[in-house]
Amino acid sequence: MRTYLIEDRGKINEIIKACKTCYLAMAEENAPYVLPMNFALNGDWVILHSAQTGRMWETLKKNPKVCINWTLGEELAWQDVQVGCSYRVKSESVLVEGEAAFVDDFDEKYELLKMLMAQYSDREFKFNAPAVKNVGLIKVKIEKLSAKEFGAKAITPWNS
């Protein structure tokens, strides 16, 4: 079984949009810190939703550099059931590196909330002023992007 790079941005976007959760990695005084997050993808921006206070918020104020992971798929596969090293989880994974920026503008926050909800529902939503004002929204500009497919079968003339 092989690992392949995924370079097609359309395929990468499909993987991201098929996920319900992303994992946001941060560095807190030289220690790693990872959180599951709700998200939306908007072109070269990842939108994240949170409270406006807490450990994550304080960590990002000190060090806005982040890495975000999405992983799709959990099917176990193997080449030889007797050989432990031949086992793989068939999955696709995307990594984004960038810098987090807090969103304060009311109108921008409103539009970003609509994008976030579109990730999880086909319904259109309206948000009242306190909801928009009190939510924490973070944008991460995609500076580096990589994606891989794990546990893929090798393509040979007899199985293509």
Q: Supply the range of the domain harboring residue 119.
A: 2-151
Euclidean distance between the first and the last CA atom of the chain, given in angstroms as a whole number: 14
What total of structural domains would you count in the chain?
1
81 vs 36: CA distance, rounded Å: 33
Phi, then psi, of 26 in degrees rounded to 5:
-135, 165
- Is residue 158 domain-resident? no
Judge whether 140 lies within some domain: yes
Q: Is the pLDDT of residue 152 over 80?
A: no
In a domain, 160, yes or no: no
The rounded Cα 4 to chain-centroid distance in angstroms is 19
In a domain, 147, yes or no: yes
Q: What is the mean pLDDT of residues 111-135?
A: 95
In a 13 Å sphere around the CA of 82, the CA atoms on its Cβ side amount to: 0
Residue 75 belongs to a domain with what CATH number? 2.30.110.10
Give the pLDDT band of residue 159 (cuts 50, 70, 90): very low
Indicate whether 157 belongs to any domain.
no
Q: State how far the Cα of 112 lies from the Cα of 103, in Å rounded to an integer.
A: 9
Residue 153 has pLDDT above 70, yes or no: no
User: If you average pLDDT over residues 99-105, what whole number do you get?
Assistant: 97
Closest among 58, 87, 92 to 73, alpha carbons compared:
92
Amino acid occupying residue 21:
T
**Residue among 57, 48, 53, 65 at smallest CA distance from 112:** 48
Predicted TM-score (pTM) of this structure: 0.86
Give tens-digit pLDDT for 44-95.
Answer: 999 999 999 999 999 999 999 999 999 998 777 767 777 677 667 788 999 9
Please name the amino acid found at residue 49.
H
* C-beta of residue 152 within 8 angstroms of C-beta of residue 7: no
More confident site: 73 or 114: 114
SS3 84: helix
What is the per-residue pLDDT for 71?
A: 94
Of the listed ranges 2-6, 105-109, 129-133, 142-146, the one predicted with least confidence: 2-6
30-51: pLDDT as tens digits: 899 999 999 999 999 999 999 9
